[in-house]
């Protein structure tokens, strides 16, 4: 049997991109540093970093200017003629992504995500692109995760779903009680509200009233073959975290086909499942953050306490607000 | 009247050391990069970074070897002859600090801290040095902060103390309900337990049972004159965070002479005090983290949400565990 994983092992598997300063070392000896900066119009801040092999294969349109000089850049051009820059960017992304899908050159684009993701921190509100394409452009992918728990006489218990066997990624692995990608047009909270209904049949009014925002975890992935996409993509990720305490008579129940079953587990059972790598990798990070916030993992019982905490909140290499530098 | 401070303004004042990779850019053009690495015996990982002006003024003993080559280093020598390396290091620090105090060259050493701080992440357990000297050596300073709150019919209220007028730093400013430096020989939790008694007269049994560890905030200060010490010191800081919900009949009351008065304030009053810079700078960070964890600051009401969260959990430039690299 494999050695049980430590919490830090689990986080390193999620926050897997090397700790290099990708923004400041654009062309030194690191292989990773040859990523291209994705630039939006009139904004010098890179909103993503793209693999050279990806830049080479994308069937670029005239909406983009690719420069192979140092620093290497992919510039979205402003074809709005002074009207709606965001709409022009969105049209540019939509066209080039349609061509890339047609080309059949990208496994990543085969993923069944039809909604758009917002480009976080863009100066123009609602610059967005197809969710499945976000990792190719190296822009931040946003999710919302809510952990539901129950206080019992035997201590805290946590609602843990098992993913359906037919899912494209991580079939039959354990997940966060409720989780989903944050669509361009919604807030993280609204995402949790509708996913609570769709995935777990939780009453909407109850969720609106009792779901509590309690932080976010941020990390940077280096995508490997497990995602069924291109190898080596740099993907900044932000997961907005929510907790909800459920009474005994509100029981999560699968509604859509993403969840096979919900378990109500005590903390020790959840710890065991983490150590055995039964959780989807980023859901392990969410559970570890929950354990930190609820005093289950402490400095007294975990020698990696501080490293765990800083890895759960990595400074992302892309701006996270319109005014961030 | 001054412009009200944003949460991010307040955090930038705490996490004030530039975001340079001090470990990897030891001798380039940045002024900050000329810091000396503090090295313990048989351990290549710098445990602190020292200002050149400080290294120059310290009356070094033969327990230390100072190298002005690249990378600049201050190496603690192992004079234990194979016996107790930690004890030898502690003796080395004690001697040189005694000489430095005698020299009168360091304002920082005038601070009335008589306890020792542990050097975080040292391979040898309990390597420690005088708390007042820790910032000179650039080693991590550890504190523990507990926020006490009460649930009332009008919403959450928070116990906020005002610091005494005679204190060396931040007199009459607002503070965390209970806070203190973590002494070398105690755990963060034990620190909170005894400080709760000494500073706020909270019943020890109640605190032991109900104080909940709920994360840590980590940041890097560049010390300015406000601390009454040397200018430009790089100080990594880790504050272990605790929450405690108090019933109405447990009321914090000053016991030692550090607190003038406790206020029971609602969230809006605390927000106003933050914006007006009424809080001791690092206590503002603790309160902001509390607001994040309790769903008071959310992505929906704060555009800097993600930047705030990552700044509250900066990766420190020193190892935080014996096995960290």
Rounded to an integer, what distance in angstroms lies between the CA atom of residue B9 and that of residue B261? 27
- 3-state DSSP assignment of residue A98: helix
Res. B29: pLDDT tops 70: no
Confidence of residue A21 (pLDDT cuts 50, 70, 90): confident
Weakest mean pLDDT among A60-69, A295-304, B19-28, B275-284:
B19-28
Q: Is B144 helix (H, G, I), strand (E, B) or coil?
A: strand
pLDDT at A229 over 70: no
Handedness of CA A55, A61, A65, A68 (dihedral sign): positive
Task: Give me the mean pLDDT over the B234-259 stretch.
Answer: 96
Q: Is the model's pLDDT at A201 over the cut of 50? A: yes
Categorise residue B50: left if φ over 0, alpha if ψ from -120 to 50, beta otherwise.
beta
* Per-residue 3-state assignment (H helix, E strand, C coil) for B48-106: EEECHHHHHHCCCCCCEEEECCCCCEEEECCCCCCCCHHHHHHHHHHHHHHHHHHHCCC
Q: Do domains B7-15+140-311 and B31-137 have the same CATH topology?
A: no
Cβ-defined contact of B309 to A313 (cutoff 8 Å): yes
Q: In chain B, which residues touch A (CB < 8 A)?
A: 19, 21, 120, 187-189, 212-216, 218, 238, 240, 292-295, 298-300, 303-307, 309-316, 320-324
- Domain B7-15+140-311 sits in which CATH superfamily? Nucleoside Triphosphate Pyrophosphohydrolase (3.90.79.10)
Please name which of A61, A64, A15 lies closest in space to residue A36, comparing C-alpha atoms: A64
The DSSP call for residue A19 is: S
Calculate how close chain B gets to A94, using CA atoms only, in Å: 27
Instruction: Give the model confidence (pLDDT) of A126-140 as tens digits.
Output: 899 999 999 999 999
> Domain extents for chain A?
7-15+140-311, 35-137
pLDDT tens digits, residue range A137-196? Answer: 999 999 999 999 999 999 999 999 999 999 888 999 999 999 999 999 999 999 999 999
User: How confident is the model at residue A2, as a pLDDT?
Assistant: 80
Mean pLDDT confidence for A86-113: 90
Burial class from Cβ neighbours inside 10 Å (0-12, 13-18, 19+) for residue A109 reads buried
Calpha distance B54→B135 (Å, rounded): 10
Q: Which of B122, B137, B138 is nearest to B86 (CA)?
A: B122
For residue B27, the model assigns a pLDDT of 47
The Cα of B212 is separated from the nearest Cα of chain A by a number of Å equal to 5
**What is the per-residue pLDDT for A31?**
52
Residue among B213, B299, B320 whose CB faces A240 most closely: B299
pLDDT value at position B125?
84
Residue B186 has pLDDT above 50, yes or no: yes
Convert the pLDDT of each residue in B53-112 to its tens digit.
899 999 999 999 999 888 899 999 999 998 999 999 999 999 999 999 999 988 888 776
Q: What's the whole-number mean pLDDT along residues A234-246?
A: 97
CATH topology of domain B31-137: Transcription Regulator spoIIAA (3.30.750)
Residue partners of B124: CB distance under 8 A and separation at least 6: B40, B41, B85, B86, B89
> How far is the C-alpha of B101 from the C-alpha of B108, rounded, in Å?
9
A304 pLDDT above the threshold of 80: yes
Chain B: give the shortest CA distance to residue A20, in Å: 9
Over range A203-208, report the average pLDDT: 98
Best probe of the B interface among A29, A188, A306, by most B CBs < 10 A, is A306
User: In the predicted model, what is the mean pLDDT of residues B312-321?
Assistant: 95
ipTM score of the complex? 0.94
Write the pLDDT tens digit of every residue in B223-234: 875 555 666 889
């Amino acid at each position: 049997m494999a050695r049980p994983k430590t919490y830090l092992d689990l986080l390193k598997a999620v926050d897997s991109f090397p700790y290099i300063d990708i923004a400041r070392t654009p062309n030194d000896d690191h292989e990773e540093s040859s990523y291209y900066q994705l630039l939006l119009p009139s904004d010098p801040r890179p909103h993503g970093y793209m693999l050279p092999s990806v830049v080479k294969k994308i069937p670029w349109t005239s909406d983009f200017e690719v420069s192979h000089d140092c620093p290497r850049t992919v510039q979205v051009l402003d074809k709005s003629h002074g009207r709606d820059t965001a709409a022009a960017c969105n049209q540019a992304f939509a066209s080039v992504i349609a061509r890339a899908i047609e080309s059949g050159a990208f496994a990543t684009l085969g993923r069944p995500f039809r909604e758009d993701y917002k480009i976080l921190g863009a100066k123009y509100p609602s610059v967005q692109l197809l969710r499945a394409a976000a990792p190719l452009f190296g822009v931040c992918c946003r999710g919302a995760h809510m952990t539901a728990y129950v206080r019992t006489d035997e201590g805290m218990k946590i609602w843990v779903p098992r993913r359906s066997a037919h899912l494209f990624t991580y079939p039959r692995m354990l997940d966060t009680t409720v989780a989903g990608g944050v669509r361009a047009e919604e807030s993280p909270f609204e995402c949790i509200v509708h996913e609570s209904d769709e995935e777990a049949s939780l009453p909407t009014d109850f969720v609106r009233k009792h779901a509590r925002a309690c932080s976010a975890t941020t990390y940077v992935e280096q995508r490997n073959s497990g995602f069924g996409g291109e190898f080596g993509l740099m993907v900044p990720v932000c997961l907005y975290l929510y907790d909800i305490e459920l009474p005994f008579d509100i029981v999560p129940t699968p509604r859509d086909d993403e969840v096979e079953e919900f378990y109500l587990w005590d903390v020790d059972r959840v710890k065991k499942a983490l150590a055995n790598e039964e959780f989807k990798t980023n859901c392990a990070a969410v559970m570890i953050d929950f354990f930190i916030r609820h005093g289950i993992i402490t400095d007294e019982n975990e020698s990696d306490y501080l490293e765990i905490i800083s890895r759960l909140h990595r400074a992302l290499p892309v701006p996270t607000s319109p005014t961030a530098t």
